[in-house]
Amino acid sequence: MAINVIIQNDFEKWLNAIGYAESTVYASVNYVRDFFTWLDKTPIKELNQINNQVIKTYYEYLQQRANKKQSGSLSNNYIVSNINALKRFCRYLQVTGKATIEIDLQLQAITTETKTVLTREEVKALYKACENDILGIRDRAILSVYYGCGLRRSEGIALNVSDILLREKRIYVRKGKNYRERYVPMTEAVKEDLENYIYVAREKILSFKNIKPEALFLSIRVQRMHGNSLIIRLQHLVNKARIEKDLPAGKAGIGLHTLRHSIATHLLQSGMTLEEVSQFLGHASLESTQIYTHLAYE
């Protein structure tokens, strides 16, 4: 039962309309396509034949399937992401009236081993690795947004200058997960870094072309920076600071989400309550924040 191309495209459009990150949309479509490839080997031929037992069987298949990219089995993180993509697909089918599929599956929690966290000393080393030129000033601002304010990758990319409320010492997150909006407080140090970038480095970048984009983080071409560009800058700082981590299997390296994991862990270590950290991160429930308590006391 190959996934209908029209349904696949509509699912992708629906995810984009809801406000999911570009990487989540891309992965979700691929996960669903893999699921339908697996379905081809079963007697199921219609959407309405898919039920919770079918999803459970697929979940068990993923737990036993070999990893195609490296030795061993699939990581728990990969399997959970796969099933979550199917939940999104089922929700899409329900909303659009194409089918009614309920997934009631208790997934094994993602272990703390899948979370990479930097120490406070390593974070300080990243800041010290920033130069005093326009790229270095922008690098500090990137660290301040993703570590100092704990934003998700997509949230930082979507920021406009108007979202940086320097006087109120807050950042307005317009495009949070599932379009949840929130205000994130900033420290005096974060404020200084963002102020320096906006009024010095960013103004210099704007002078390269006669255009005035709204985006906070601008490339030298005076365009909104994308995720890969931000990761390249972070990796530049990681290499310069000579930070080496023993990464879990399947992990590509230190990324923007590593900074978010790190600030969450450091805040808990500093005595902030789980509820306060959950609100700071923009989590919908405390369950999403709970994992950081293990990291904080590790």
Give catalytic residue positions: 152, 177, 257, 260, 283, 292
Nearest to 187 by CA among 236, 145, 218, 151: 145
- The 8 Å CB, 24+ separation contacts for 264-268 are 264/150, 264/289, 264/292, 264/295, 265/117, 265/292, 265/295, 265/296, 266/120, 266/123, 268/292, 268/293, 268/295, 268/296
Q: How far is CA 108 from CA 14, 71, 111, 139, in A?
A: 28, 22, 9, 37
Bridge partners of 160, per DSSP, are: 215
